[in-house]
Amino acid sequence: MAGYDEPEARPDIVIDLEQLRNNPQQFVDLLSRRGSFDMQPILTLDRQLREMITQRSQLQSRSNVISKTVGESIKAGIPPQSPEIKALRDEASQIKTAIAEFEPQEKQINAELEQLLLTIPNLPSPSTPVGTSEDENVEVRRWGDQYIPAGENILPHWEIGEQLGILNFERSVKIAQSRFVTLLGAGAALERALIQFMLDRHIQAGYLEVMPPFLVNSESLTATGQLPKFSEESFKCGADDLWLIPTAEVPVTNLYQDQVLTAEELPIYHCAYTPCFRREAGSYGRDTRGLIRLHQFNKVELVKLVQPETSEQEHQALVENAAGILEALKLPYRIVELCTGDLGFAAAKCYDLEVWLPSAGKYREISSCSNFHDFQARRGKIRFKPSGQKQTQFVHTLNGSGLAVGRTMAAILENYQQPDRTVRLPEVLQPYLNRAVL
């Protein structure tokens, strides 16, 4: 793929190949819930690779026997130039040539196999609702109906923001392009206040704050599932193997790349504020105005690394941590469980939190809370050693927005809009800004 430097091949940890070999139909059945995926090319390459490895192993074994036989024969007094010894050495030379020919073939098949495996999405959790599109997502619950504003003439957040002089989109186009915004005065202060408020709440809930690099390499994006599938959605620095992060999930999860943790180190909870950068290549014509779909936006992210047996419980807790921010701000929201057809590439199970936007008259996504099971851990080689056991296991990784800051600001500008076109601030934010009204 253009602009994407392929990492070193490692198909043995992209998915559980042993499980695929033993029960390919299970993979086919689970993946069919997402769509149509042909596993036959993967199985064919895997079989070719294993046959080649077996042949090479047999040749190497024969080479070892020849070497031992030659040594013992010479020690027994047979002349090194005898026809018997010469025949064995000729055979050994032929075997060496054959083994050398296997190496590039194995390397090629290995690389082809990994690239195919990297395009296969995560297997959906058995409990994930089966469906073909977002229309079949399942609503779990709603909260805050009493906080939905009664007025009918609520301005969209971009209009009230421009009237208040706190958002400027036009000047942002001059210095960048469309889908960027400049925050001014109280707008910048509100953004900072939201970030600090979210971090404070999550730190109190037990998350350790991280401020990671905002540029990552291809291997990190591959580990968390953004590459190779979403290379067109990401911004790459042309002179380096570095990409602007689409979310803090990438650098924070990869802090533990290629590491074996102890059971005592788990669970690991991190929260992180970062700017995020996305091309939004697949959203042409959608949300062209406002703060909903920008190329650059701020977000507070929650990341967990946990033992497999606790990941479902940890997932529910993660959702509640994100929802707690909306409840503290008294913003109406609902939670929907994504069906298999709407599930993200790397997720096994996902809940979206959607906040009420009065100007649109509907709920809009403000957080996705995903459980990836061992999908990212396999690609990133993140393991742990259970207490009292020698065998390592892959951790389970989870993440969710806690929350997308710009979308939270949009919800505040609309839900807290007053008849005189001022905006009352949520009570929990007023100490951060030393004011009650924008």
What phi, psi does 353 have (nearest 5°)? -100, 130
Catalytic residue check, 293: yes
Contact 368, 315 (CB under 8 A): no
CA distance linking residue 330 with residue 338, whole number of Å: 24
Neighbours of 262 (CB within 10 A): 10
383 annotated active-site = no
Nearest CA to 43 out of 115, 119, 113, 122 is that of 113
423 CB burial (10 A radius; 0-12, 13-18, 19+): buried
Q: What is the DSSP letter of 297?
A: E
Query: Does 368 participate in catalysis according to the annotation?
Result: yes
Catalytic residue among 162, 265, 312, 365: 365
Burial class, 327, CB count within 10 angstroms (exposed 0-12 / middle 13-18 / buried 19+): middle
Catalytic residue, candidates 125, 172, 368, 401 = 368
**From the candidates 293, 312, 364, 424, which is the catalytic residue?**
293
Place of tokens 């913003």: 331
How far is Cα 89 from Cα 428, in angstroms, rounded to an integer? 83
Q: Which of 33, 34, 278, 379 is catalytic?
A: 278
Q: Give the largest CA-CA distance in the chain.
A: 109
Q: How would you class 6 by CB atoms within 10 Å of its CB: exposed for 0-12, middle for 13-18, buried for 19 or more?
A: middle
39: its two tokens = 């596993």
Q: Are 370 and 399 in contact (CB under 8 A)?
A: yes
Structure tokens at 366: 């403000």
3-state secondary structure (DSSP) of residue 270: strand
The first and second tokens of residue 336, run together, are 């929907």
Is 407 an active-site residue?
Answer: yes
> DSSP 3-state helix, strand, coil percentages of the chain (rounded to 5)?
45, 20, 35
**Beta bridge pairs of residue 367:** 353
Of 218, 354, 407, 414, which is the active-site residue? 407
Q: What are the structure tokens assigned to 419, written together?
A: 């008849």
* 376 and 227 Cβ atoms separated by less than 8 Å: no
With contact defined as beta carbons under 8 Å apart, do 205 and 302 qualify?
A: no
* Cα(365)–Cα(355) distance, integer angstroms: 6
Q: Examine the residue annotation and report whether 278 is marked as an active-site residue of this protein.
A: yes
Q: How many CB atoms lie within 10 A of CB 370?
A: 25
Which residue numbers are catalytic?
Answer: 278, 293, 365, 368, 407
